[in-house]
A and B are shown apart, each in its own frame.
Chain A
């Protein structure tokens, strides 16, 4: 099995020092003509690839499925980081990739209406699992292939903020809820909150659909305050009850409801008979108890969206997702001000965020979730997933490759955590490493997917192990190999960093040994963070 000469592992400083790449072009040019410089850079040294602008890598890692050379070119073509970002805020102006344009047609279940999903389940055909896991697969592939990275990032953020698990009783409406989030993801939070709170998915998920005038259900009234808007510590239990009274009346005509024939089946509607008419006051919002055909609840939701405590929570969530696990109070306060000054519009908030020095200083401070890791791995390895032919196709089984919690499946209303501790466990690491190896080796999934062979990652012409490591690191980490990375690749392939690849080593690196080298670069802190 061993086709490679087994050389002793080199340790520590005994390894020959290799040439380091300059971090900045400017620096390179400034010293270009100096004699000293040329002594350090003998002419026979192979040509270095141009260094990548770290700010491009950073914005791509935070607002797309992960940096790739192609993504870097798209950002440059748009006029640089900020110009690209601002254009992304109007996603309709960004041409979608051919692949992303096809994805909807790959998953026919997505187009089912809630009534069709109900009928399918009753007929013993596709039910909550098939519909839910198709939403998952489609979401993963959209994150991997969409050119509208900022939109996808914000869809994920709002889906986590206004979380509804696709495996819950609300499953009939979960896809429609996704459509709703997409339509409001880059707009005013007040519009999103009103539409999402009164959507059948939310009314069912948080039990408002079952609320009655005599017994207002407190679940959504409470979670609206605790999770979706102002947060804990801002309100008392009487205000939770008042919140429930204001929302009561908003319900859903279930498929089996033969009474409310003027309402479309499975649609949300306001039923004045279910509205608790007592007066209600919450955080300065007052209702005399008149539901006004559902308008009072809408006014209440808009009021909460504009509350300063909501502004702080939304600002904190956005800063935690896109800057770091512990954003500064100054950044949060700045973003909250922008949010309030722009009537809850998230676009100016995001523009302010990417222009803030704290954003620029936060590169690689976020841990990738297992799904984000999968998406980034698909992108850097160029895994080519084809239209599915059946449910064993990669387009479907990709949902099982990451080994983590599926998107939108967190079991509680609070949505998944967004800080490193939740994604840093031994099990997670082993699952992610397994995923990297499966995709690097093309081991799984195997149906309707094409992988690049390890030989595609070899440098052209003659190369040393260190040069090979550097090439892999540029591909996966968007930066040249540092000493530890070079050392790690050399150890993984059982060779020394300075060793020139002979025909035997080259052949092995182009096949089985290349998987070990790719594994070393993928199972790496630079790939597990963004």
Chain B
């Protein structure tokens, strides 16, 4: 690694200065401008109508967005929010869950209505310091009990369009930057709907997957051969215009940008210790990579990660042992390690969890829970008004016509995400990220 090309330090400087350049210029000056920053391997196209989102809050301070990052943890399979943020104060809760309910005495951070599952213990320091909040009774405006279809709906978040585009894709598409590194999905090389769409994004099993075969610093240790490989590709594609040629040039650029990050062996910082065993090890890999990506400051705004197999129709377990307790422990241990790992960078990073729907109140005959409706969301880090439970509790015995032993939804999930976007990414308006939805303030962010 002693012969590492000198590109990288320059590259980072150029990236940062370019971002400032774009932020500092007026829309008119940028009309139709094409900037080539790093030679022919890189493209940067800016258009006036994308520089400033016209529906964004004009009083917001643009500088507040610089370097801010949103990490979206998709808890796929529908996590039981009533088992994480437990409504012990609701009289319907305990009788409905005679075998799998969490006893009030075991709850953490309990107030008169809610308390946290005991396996959330690793996260209590952030609850106490006001960097961890929970929102209850969140979800889709109407029940949708199909995993498949509810995930599509929640990630697409745009009933006005038939185009497959996730809200993260819309969000990163609202600024002048067209770098695919703006939104990165880690944990699978196929982008979920959440990040998929017209704006270029990246998806990989991990940072090491964002590598160019034949020029991967992890295997191809000689920089001369890496450069030959890159030069050869640039030659082969030099005459190819259009989306395919652009994609190759994007690939060359992001591997040059992220290659040093991906190949760096820098472990967790600030004494962070990630879980190493199932079921937490995969999430640990993704979060460790995310922390490295954030520290490298290469312009990434959103990181999306999938975690879990939360579809516990059977064998849910108890407060002390079983599948749910194991999964919550893995989630909590990982998030705690990640927040520790970030150290001072936590000041620009907000984490939120999302899941397609919640589960029923009553346990079924197999000691599990069937598909329900309302759920919880957890938020951590920058801007979060933590140490408290947000949302409006509908009660578990409501007469809502849609409710079938479900938790009713009183807060649209888009209001939670919209508030994060409004406060942390003031250049992007929630109304543009969630077309057809008028966001409602809920006070989870300051």
Contacts and interface: CB of A to CB of B under 8 A. Distances in A.
Interface of A: 1-2, 6, 9, 165, 167-169, 232, 367, 403-405, 411-412, 414, 417, 420-421, 424-431, 433-434, 436-438, 484-485, 487-489, 491-494, 515-516, 519-520, 523-525, 528-529
Given A488-B236, A525-B240, A426 B229 contact: no
Given A367-B244, A425-B200, A484 B189 contact: no
B211 A430 contact: yes
8 closest A-B pairs (Cβ-Cβ)? Answer: A492-B232, A426-B250, A424-B243, A437-B213, A488-B236, A491-B232, A424-B247, A429-B251
B236 A484 contact: yes
Contact of B229 (A6, A405, A436, A516): A516
B254 A525 contact: no
A403 B190 CA distance: 7
Interface in B188-246: 189-191, 193, 198, 200-204, 209-214, 222, 224-225, 228-229, 231-233, 235-240, 242-246
Contacts of B213: 430, 433-434, 436-438, 519, 523
B152 interface: yes
Interface residues of B, number: 49
B278 interface: no
Given A412-B164, A425-B247, A429-B248, A525 B236 contact: yes
Interface of B: 146, 148, 151-152, 162, 164, 180, 189-191, 193, 198, 200-204, 209-214, 222, 224-225, 228-229, 231-233, 235-240, 242-248, 250-251, 253-255
A94 B229 CA distance: 43
A508 to B, nearest CB: 12
Contact of A426 (B148, B152, B180): B180
A491 B247 contact: no
Nearest to B235: A488
B254 A426 contact: yes
Contacts of B242: 420, 424
B237 A525 contact: yes
21 contacts: A6-B224, A165-B148, A420-B244, A421-B198, A424-B247, A427-B191, A429-B247, A429-B251, A430-B212, A438-B213, A484-B236, A487-B235, A491-B228, A491-B235, A516-B229, A520-B233, A520-B236, A523-B233, A523-B236, A524-B236, A529-B244
A427 B240 CA distance: 18
A466 to B, nearest CB: 14
A433 B248 CA distance: 10
Contacts of A403: 189
A519 to B, nearest CB: 5
Nearest to A487: B235
A438 B211 CA distance: 14
Contact of B214 (A485, A487, A519, A525): A519
B193 to A, nearest CB: 7
Nearest to B209: A430
A168 B191 contact: no
A485 B247 CA distance: 19
Nearest to A402: B189
A62 to B, nearest CB: 17
Contacts of B240: 525
B180, B209, B244, B255 interface centre (most CB from chain A within 10 Å): B244
A230 to B, nearest CB: 16
Contacts of B180: 425-427
Contacts of A524: 236-237
Given A425-B247, A430-B213, 4 more contacts: A167-B148, A491-B231, A491-B232, A524-B237
B203 A427 contact: yes
A431 B190 CA distance: 10
Contacts of A428: 247
B246 A492 contact: no
A417 to B, nearest CB: 8
B40 to A, nearest CB: 13
A484 B239 contact: yes
A525 B239 CA distance: 9
Contacts of B202: 426-427
B236 A425 contact: no
B148 A168 contact: yes
B148 A430 contact: no
B198 A411 contact: no
